Amino acid sequence: MKFIISSNILLRNLQMIYGVINPSNTLPILDDFLFELKENTLHVTASDLETTMKVTIPTDMAEEPGVITIPAKLLLDTLKTLPGVPVTFTIDSQSMIVEISAGEGKFKLSGHKSDEFPEIPVIEEATSMMIKSDILSGAFSHTIFATGNDDLRPVMSGVYCEINNDDITFVATDAHKLVRYKRTDAGAENPSSFILPKKPLNQLKNILPDEKEIKLEYDKTNAYFEFENVSLICRLIEGKYPNYEAVIPKENPHRLILDRSQFISAIKRVSLYANQSTNQLRIKISGQELTLSAEDIDFSNEAKERLSCSYEGEDMEIGFNSKFLLEMLQNLHVEQIKMELSAPNRAGLLLPVDDTNANEDILMLVMPVMLNQ
């Protein structure tokens, strides 16, 4: 097995799939890339059993098709040090020794037989659709941060995807915050829903191309994404997603509009003085003025800052976890945000003002905290 390939092209493709590999694997073979040479094309696969990613790369020259697994980290670290030069891989199919020649440098490492490398799952009776890359990018960047990490509630550790005839909705929640991202410029003939794990979504978010069509296939067990020379298949999270619509308050008579960047800066300053275990931030709205305050009684620290706002409703005082509030504001990429409130013990809604995309509907919900009087 022998082939020649550009070091830069190979490095770029391997970096796209390397994030799938876990830092510590129970199966040593999962620390490797699977290399398959077919005619003049190299297929490289990475897997953690739950998620499998594959890239297809044309070679400059190829002889003797074959298959081998190569230690991923050592290969990547080697390629990172090379200038953009053609690299020759020569692999002995008996000893599994991989020789790499690049310019005047020669490197030798031990590969492994591919027998133990997991097979790529096959999607049976798949539902298939094409979806724009910007829809997926928007959905993943707005929802992944709101997913939970509770092993006892695995359904909340992923992003819920609900596909209807003329819209598609992505939801994430950890019980403290919730995001609903809806698009009306996508849909499928057969309505369905499933829960996507966040690890493969993080992988995709970083490499999705601009303004391209993405092929999405899914069945009851797996979801498959394909674009350009990349494919990813992941196991869906089993279970029933909580009724997220039930927790979104419908009547919110108190509404304020704020400059997002000013609000973020003020929260960052004031929250420095909050109790670091509760991150409690007090928001008092009176007239057209909003006052942020925080205190840490143990250290006699306190801070207060006023902001002007546009407000409709009665005077109100409500508490939030500043960390959760900041996360949500930092993921709303608009100049002004609208906050809708109903009562100090009910969830608050964050919505974009004058969203430029008419097909996009973003709603963020944050649960209040009990204020110390």
- The predicted structure's pLDDT at residue 373: 58
Q: What is the DSSP string of 301-351?
A: EEEEEEEE-EEESS-EEEEEEHHHHHHHHHT--SSEEEEEES-TTS-EEEE
pTM of the model: 0.92
Q: Residues 322, 256: one domain? A: yes
| Residue that finishes a domain, picked among 220, 239, 258 | 239
- Give every CB contact of residue 324 below 8 A, 6+ residues apart in sequence: 176, 177, 279, 366, 367
Q: Does 176 fall in a domain? A: no
Same domain, yes or no: 291 and 319:
yes
Which residues make Cβ contacts (< 8 Å) with residue 309, sequence separation at least 6? 256, 257, 258, 285, 288, 289, 290
| List of residues 6+ apart from 128 with CB closer than 8 A | 215, 216, 217
Question: What pLDDT does 187 receive?
Answer: 84
Q: What is the pLDDT of residue 354?
A: 78
d(CA 133, CA 123): 22
Full domain range(s) for residue 60: 2-110
**Mean pLDDT value across residues 127-142:** 93
Residue 212 banded pLDDT, cuts 50, 70, 90? very high
Q: Kindly report the average pLDDT of the chain as a whole number.
A: 94
- Distant-in-sequence contacts of 348-357, Cβ < 8 A, 24+ apart: 348/318, 348/320, 349/248, 349/249, 349/252, 353/257
Whether 234 maps to a domain, the answer reads yes
At residue 124, does pLDDT exceed 90? no
Q: Which residues contact 156 (CB under 8 A, 6 or more apart)?
A: 147, 148, 150, 173, 174, 175, 242
Residue 211 has pLDDT above 90, yes or no: no
Q: pLDDT, tens digit, for every residue of 156-167? A: 999 999 999 999
Which SS3 state, helix, strand or coil, does residue 360 take? strand
Does residue 270 belong to any structural domain of this protein? Answer: yes
Is residue 324, in this structure, part of any structural domain at all? yes
| DSSP string for residues in 124-156 | -S-EEEEEEHHHHHHHHHHHGGG----TT-GGG
Please name which of 61, 100, 59 lies closest in space to residue 79, comparing C-alpha atoms: 100
Q: Are residues 254 and 365 in the same domain?
A: yes
Q: Is residue 118 part of a domain?
A: no
Give yes or no for residue 355 having a pLDDT over 90.
Answer: no
| 257-297 per-position pLDDT tens digit | 999 999 999 999 999 999 999 999 999 999 999 999 999 98
Mean pLDDT on 233-262: 94
User: What pLDDT sits at residue 340?
Assistant: 95
Please give the tally of structural domains in the chain.
Answer: 3
Residue % of the chain over a pLDDT of 90 = 87
> Both 232 and 257 in a single domain?
no
